[in-house]
Amino acid sequence: MNDEHDAKKRLKEQYAAMADDQESPRTDTSRDFDPIQHAKSIGYSEEDISSVPQGVICLGCGNPIALAELREGETVLDLGAGGGFDAFLAAQRVGPTGKVIGVDMTAEMIAKATANAQVGKYMNTEFRLGEIERLPVDSGSVDVVISNCVISHCPDKLATFQEIRRCLKPGGRMLIADLVRRGEFSQEALNDKLWGHWLAVACGKEEYLNAIERAGFREINVVGEQWSSTAEKNEHLRGRIVSIQVWALK
């Protein structure tokens, strides 16, 4: 329990700092991090990138928006919303009759995303402070849950997916992009200052999908899979971390 508390504390501190400098926590070459090229490499278009307020970037590992099939009038829940990149793209798709709720565990990111929403005049978007294991969202209130490279940081993935399912309406859907580990890792990788904490709580693909199934989801499908582009830049991680996109129904 103490290890879980310490890991979450470190993660909060890391993402609170990111609210100021927007550096990626997933690569040890963050000074060379090009947010536009990164977004393109994981499936976002030029139009996507240019449609959000200037300075709002994506630090994810996939594009859940592209596969979520969002419709006008739907309510979308974005977990680990960060500065609001995916939330704003979702808001454009659900339109003024729809709604997007972004949840993040750091007050600094909530403040940043809220300010970005004001700049972009996203009247159908709001951001709430909370943890994924205890979401500040009513049961059965959302049509779609999206998340981008966040749930893998949660030590208790079963509890996380159970909470997601609680928030979904009957027949609601989940589309998440995330990272899973494959094979064994060297001590150098486990000691890596940026990846080591993630490796301590990350799991393999089968364990990840099993948690979704145990949470009660149905029609679980891996709709996208590729090597993590940022991990491939690290010699200790190359060929060991996979980005997957998973679709499931309540």
| Cβ neighbours around 35 below 10 Å, total | 17
| Total structural domains within the chain | 1
**Region label for 40, one of left (φ > 0), alpha (ψ between -120 and 50) or beta (otherwise):** alpha
Ramachandran class of 162: left when φ > 0, alpha when ψ lies in -120 to 50, beta otherwise: alpha
DSSP 192: -
The Cβ-side half-sphere exposure at 20, using a 13 Å CA radius, reads 4
pLDDT tens column, 155-178: 999 999 999 999 999 999 999 999
Per-residue pLDDT of 178-218, as tens digits, reads 999 998 899 999 988 888 889 989 999 999 999 999 999 99
- Name the burial class of residue 87, with classes exposed (0-12), middle (13-18) and buried (19+) by CB atoms within 10 angstroms of its CB: buried
86, two tokens: 């995916």
Q: What is the pLDDT of residue 33?
A: 74
Q: What is the CATH number of the domain that holds 65?
A: 3.40.50.150
The residue segments making up the domain with residue 28 are 2-249
Beta bridge pairs of residue 102: 78, 127
Distance CA 181, CA 127 (A): 30
Mean pLDDT, range 75-92, rounded to an integer: 97
What percentage of the chain reaches a pLDDT higher than 70? Answer: 87
- Where does the pLDDT of residue 24 fall: very low under 50, low under 70, confident under 90, or very high at 90 and above? very low
The Cα–Cα gap between 210 and 69 comes to: 24
- Whether 45 has a pLDDT exceeding 90, the answer reads yes
Mean pLDDT of 132-156: 96
